[in-house]
Amino acid sequence: MKEIAEDLMRRCLARGALAAEAYVKMGERRAVELNPDGVVSWTRSAEGGIGLRVLREGGAAGFASICGPRPGDEALDQLIMAAMDAARPAVRGAGTVFALPKCGATRDGRGLGIFDPRLHAATPADLEGLLSDAAREALHIDPRVRRLDTASIVVSSTRVMIRNSEGFDGAYRQTIVHLSLGAVAQDAGRSIVVRQSKTARSLSAFSPVLFGDQTARLALSALEGSALQGCRTPVLLAPAAAAEVLRHFSRNVIIPAAAPGAHVTSPRLTIIDDGHLPGGVASAPFDGEGVATQRTVLVSRGVLTGTIHDLHSAARAGAAGTASTGNGMRMSFREPPRRMTSNLFIAPGGDEPTELMRALRDGIHVEALRPTTALRGDASVFAGIVTGRRIVSGLPQEAVAGALLVAPLSDLLHGVTGVGNDLTFGLPGGSFAAPSLLVKEVEIRAPWA
């Protein structure tokens, strides 16, 4: 593939491109699925191709992609023509001019914990064993967890390479595993399905048995949960629930709602984006444009300190010293890079979760939050359906489920009074993480409100 990438660079420059970049991703995907009838299916497939980006006069950038490991000469010609044709100058004035990274010291991902040889070598039979462990644990916790609605495990093992006409040449290998369970809990006259997923880079960071246990217990809480009347109450957000709030906040990372120096959260919170985090689901030695990944502090003790950039947004910012933070991310070789968070997390505090529960005294421990579109037209407001337990005098009591937690995102983040030491990665979506957060007061609406 290196020879093909070099050939693409030469041919693009010969066609009039100022610069060109080839992003190559090749690998294999293995999946095992267990359907509700207990039938197991295996799939194994190759995946990969080339994404080509060209830069032309006036800041025009074009992108095209092609599938397959070894495209022929005619296919490469069509790829180049498509990318060049897509690189049209902006209709209203010139585009943003930016430069591709030049050659330099290139990290290859070794030591970053993003490639697991055991996961790479795992067969579908191995994966079926892991899935069976998770399913077996989920179904033996309580007889009311009757069956699994869905159960699947997917492993991808890929190699990524970027080469550009400025001399950058880098490559790395990566693995990722994604486990998903849907547990059905039933009692007399009532049935509920709870679905959860977890993503990790390696088997050592992954416990199917623990995940099965957690999914079943959450399903039981949802089944047992009584409805809440509308009220305002303090809450303790478990890591998975706090990560959902952080995911909502991530929109403000791309387009900050305030200027650097503004107080955007409680002084208890520090929020970090780290594309070089060891073992991180979104970690890589360099981003989808060849820029070295880094740790970027976005909020420090409540104060907004900056934002993330890819090459285009850094050039568009126009301020001296503004550079890409290594956040030009690619979802696949089929898409050009775009500015996105990598591993976004809230820094852990020093409080044990049990201490935070005692500090809560009387309120709700929110074990899970399912974001909802019940409130439309106001992205500044967070809304999520609660599953958890009532806390009385610092001790867990009966389960609660189905009520709606509603809060302006700013109020929710400013209201944090305690931060746990239990930072947890992998939920939701893998690349968002948070510890337990104690929030002084939120609005809870009854399900029918």
How far apart CA 99 and CA 26 sit, in angstroms, is: 26
Question: Is there a single domain that holds both residue 21 and residue 135?
Answer: yes
| CATH number where 127 lies | 3.30.2290.10
Total domains, the chain: 2
Question: Is there a single domain that holds both residue 278 and residue 411?
Answer: yes
Facing residues of 40 across strands? Answer: 34
Question: Is there a single domain that holds both residue 260 and residue 336?
Answer: yes
Length of the chain: 449
Q: Which domain holds residue 48?
A: 2-219
Residue with token string 């609605």:
149
Question: Is there a single domain that holds both residue 155 and residue 265?
Answer: no
Q: Give me the helices (H) in 67-123, please.
A: 73-86, 117-121
Question: Is there a single domain that holds both residue 238 and residue 354?
Answer: yes
Question: Is there a single domain that holds both residue 297 and residue 434?
Answer: yes
Is 446 or 240 the better-scoring residue by pLDDT? 240
Confidence at 226, pLDDT banded by 50, 70, 90? confident
Confidence at 93, pLDDT banded by 50, 70, 90? very low
Question: Is there a single domain that holds both residue 357 and residue 208?
Answer: no
Q: Which two tokens stand for residue 398?
A: 């009966």
DSSP tag of 75: H
Tens of pLDDT along 354-367?
Answer: 999 999 999 999 99
Last residue of a domain, one of 164, 191, 219: 219
What is the secondary structure of 407-426 as a DSSP string?
Answer: EEHHHHHHTEEEEBS--B-S
- Predicted pLDDT of residue 173: 97
Q: Give me the helices (H) in 255-288, please.
A: none
Question: Is there a single domain that holds both residue 131 and residue 250?
Answer: no
Question: Is there a single domain that holds both residue 140 and residue 252?
Answer: no
Question: Is there a single domain that holds both residue 215 and residue 324?
Answer: no
* Residue 448: CB atoms within 10 Å: 9
Last residue of a domain, one of 175, 190, 219: 219
How far apart CA 393 and CA 304 sit, in angstroms, is: 36
The H or E element spanning position 2 is helix 2-14
Q: Which amino acid belongs to residue 46?
A: A
Question: Is there a single domain that holds both residue 166 and residue 229?
Answer: no
The beta strands (E) that lie in 303-410 are given as 303-304, 328-329, 338-339, 344-346, 363-371, 381-392, 395-408
Give, to the nearest 10 degrees, the angle between helix 2-14 and helix 73-86: 50
Q: Which amino acid belongs to residue 108?
A: D
Mean pLDDT score across all residues of the chain: 90
How far apart CA 105 and CA 41 sit, in angstroms, is: 44
Tens of pLDDT along 327-340?
Answer: 999 989 999 999 99
How far apart CA 380 and CA 440 sit, in angstroms, is: 19
Q: Which two tokens stand for residue 102?
A: 């030049």
Give all strands of the β-sheet with 295-300 in edge-to-edge order.
303-304, 295-300, 271-274, 344-346, 432-433
